[in-house]
Amino acid sequence: MTAVLTGHGMTKAYLHRFDLSEDAKCKCGNEYQSMEHIIFQCAELNDQRELLKRKMGEWPASKEDLITKHKKEFYVFIESIDFEDLNYEIIVNSEGRHVVLPGGVENAQ
């Protein structure tokens, strides 16, 4: 029953744990690639966002709405994002949180 939604680790708990490093700079030029930026603003994800809007039939939605009543569509949206293409890699830190870090970029410190 839960296999479909948890198949790729995209549970609601996963999304709550999902986090972005503070120094993550987005490919689009935004200085801080927050989850809100990815969901609502990033120009690199316009196509995926349009698809999400069409499936949901209402926009804008709050982040809370996305992970509750629209979670199926939201999972598809998240899974459609190519974080590698955005120059990020997702790692799991020591606290078990998923963190998106700039990938292919030399660590400044």
Instruction: State whether residue 14 is helix, strand or coil.
Output: helix
Counting contacts by CB under 5 A, is residue 30 touching Zn ion? Answer: yes
- Tell me the number of residues near Zn ion by CB under 5 A: 4
Counting contacts by CB under 5 A, is residue 34 touching Zn ion? Answer: no
Contacts (CB under 5 A) with Zn ion, residues 35-74: 42
Counting contacts by CB under 5 A, is residue 26 touching Zn ion? Answer: yes
Counting contacts by CB under 5 A, is residue 28 touching Zn ion? Answer: yes
What SS3 string covers 16-52? Answer: HHCEECCCCCCCCCCCCCCHHHHHHHCHHHHHHHHHH
Round to whole Å and give the CA distance between 20 and 91: 10
Q: Which stretch binds Zn ion (CB under 5 A): 3-11, 13-21, 28-36, 46-54?
A: 28-36
